[in-house]
Chain A
Amino acid sequence: MGFRILIVDDSPVLRVMLTDMLQALGHEVVGEGESVKSGLAAFIATKPDLVTLDVSLPDGNGLDLLQMIRKHDPNARAVMVTGNDQVALEKRALSLKALGVLHKPFDVEELSALIQKAAPFIRPRPAA
């Protein structure tokens, strides 16, 4: 099943790579954000089924953004996609109910496995 996915990552190169992989897996990338501010605005505008969040962002971090998104929509579904593989950070992400953490660099198989694991918890929603 294809999901409507929002990507929030400061790196345009990573956004291109991630979009390519998600589309190859049959998902639709409905928007992109490069910061906390633009990510939150894109989330509100697109109401995605799932949002991928980087941790390091120019105006804050992805964990704070996840909390902001939750305030706006308590049922929001998110995965962290980050180069940061620290144990304490992963625990913090899971305590904020992120559905999983994917460490950069990753390949399409790892991305697919993460989305499959998260899929039972994702409820497709009508486009905004």
Chain B
Amino acid sequence: MDGYALIINDTEDLQNILSAHYPGFQITGVAAPSGQRVVYFGTFSDFVRQEVDGIRSYNWGAWGEVAIKVSNASSPASIARIQCEIDALNSIKSKYYPTLYHHEILTFHPTTETPLTTKLFVTVEEKVESTPLSGCMEQFADEQAILRLLTELTQALKILWDHEKRYVHRDIKPENILIKNNGDIVVIDLGIIREAGSKGITATALEYGPCTPTYASPEQLCNDKRNINYKSDLFSLGVLAYTLLAGQNPFFEEGNSLEDIIINVTSLEPPPLCELGFCTEGLSAIIQKLMSKQPFKRYRKIESLFSDLDGLSRT
């Protein structure tokens, strides 16, 4: 992850700040630590609050269960990144992404009214009743399940790719895919979303760009910004499918260092899944194409990926 952003931890003080600022919020749980932010689950009851311009009513009880995400808003880069995620979520209303209800930056302590030493960016999103894919990977270890998952994920991501800002998710991995009880998927954590080919919000101290190295594309790990576009997400989809079918990430073994992973992603050609007996030649070829080291060898037309997946589903 980005080396500059300061990580926010779950503390009693932070919970007190939230409870004071949102009198109607009842925390029911905390998500496992991941990334740079804290995620609280809970529910709102309608509440009123004294604002500069008078007392205001907040009818937030209707939202049901929500996820409150709290991030560090102390640097322009971190604010810009969160703002980018908010802009994306606000402009892509879709069943594949959580609904964003509210966002704001807290700069003063709500009780003491003193400036916060660390400004907080707070977003309130729909809590999706689901299991992360990382918690149910065994359910996706067969070919038909993978075909359905790849099709759904591609449909979800295509909304980002087709956006006028040509968004790229950049962090597709099992932890960021939620599986609802009815099987529908929701893609979360647009925290490092960016516009294709852009120079990015900030320079990074790392040699590679922000990503999860075991699922990232070679161009992300080489920080080849010009070539980071929807094809980088296609690579991650390939790694995800490979991992689900083989039961193991193709670029990671126990004991691997970060350097090992980078070398593997950029130069190791994993054996085709069909040769390992995990799937048919057809699906294996699709996954190999998705995982091509050179972006130009991956799918350019997403319709062709859909067509290939659909063709296999019918056999």
A and B are partners in one complex rather than unrelated chains: no
Give the A-binding residues of B (Cβ under 8 A).
none
